[in-house]
Amino acid sequence: MINAAITPRVEQLVITQLSSYQDIVNRLRVLQTYSVGNGITVSRLSEDDHLQDLHRKLRGMPRYMYLTMKEQKLEQTVNTYLLNHSHPTGIRAQLKVIQECRPVNKEDEKSLQEVIQKISRVVEARAGRRDDLAEVLERVAKFQDLQAEKDQIDKVLEVMKEQYAHFADLLRLHYIEKKSWKEITMIMGISKSVFYRWRPRALEKYAHLAGWE
C-alpha cells in the first residue's frame, strides 16, 4: 500500500539525499586515504572508535574490576558534568563536550583537564601528531557522518527493493546513476508515462522508510 503524497519539502529532501550519493562516495574515498601519521588513515582511526563498544560492555562490570581508584574518581567527575548530556561516543564528541564543561572548583578543573589530555593522547598515540589534533578529529567526524549518510541511503534502498524493487531501481538509476528518463525506460522496459507515474510514488516510499513523513 502506498502512502499519501508527501510534501514538496520532503520530496526535495529525498531527491537531494539521493542525488548526493556519488559525491558522498567520492568524498569518502578521498578522506579514507588521508594519512594522519604512522601509516594510519582516517578510515582506520574512525574504525578504532569501535573500541567504545568494548567500554559499553565493561560498564556492565563492577568498576573496581577494570578501573583504578584514580580512574574511578575521574569517571565520577566527568559523569557529574555530563548529567545534561547523553554519553558521547567517538573521540571528537567526547573531547568537545568535556572541553565545554565549566568546572566549579580547582579540583574538578584539574580532573577535567586530565581527561582531556588522556583523550588527546589516544589520538596522538594513533596518529603520531599533536599540532593538528583538531584537524584530525574534524576529518574523522566528517568521515563518520558521510559513512552514516551513505549507509542510510543503501539501507533504505535495500529494504525498498524487497517489496518495491521497481521503485528502488528507478531511484538508483535516476538520482544516483544520473540516467535520463529515456535511458531508464529502455533499461527497465517501461513507457515514459509509467516512469513519471512511478517516480513520485518511489519518492514517497523512500521518504516513508527513511522516516521523513
User: Are 168 and 161 spatial neighbours (Cβ–Cβ below 8 Å)?
Assistant: yes
What is the C-alpha separation between 154 and 137, in angstroms, rounded?
Answer: 26
User: pLDDT, tens digit, for every residue of 35-49?
Assistant: 665 556 666 666 655
Residue 7 main-chain phi, psi, to 5 deg: -75, 160
User: pLDDT, tens digit, for every residue of 26-85?
Assistant: 988 888 777 665 556 666 666 655 445 544 544 555 554 445 566 566 667 766 666 555
pLDDT at position 36: 60
What is the C-alpha separation between 63 and 69, in angstroms, rounded?
Answer: 9
What is the percentage of the chain residues whose pLDDT exceeds 70? 59
Residue 150 amino acid letter: K
What's the pTM? Answer: 0.59
Identify the segments of the chain with pLDDT beneath 70: 1-4, 35-75, 78-98, 118-134, 136
Tell me the CA distances in angstroms from 116 to 2, 53, 123, one per residue in order. 51, 20, 11
pLDDT at position 2: 44
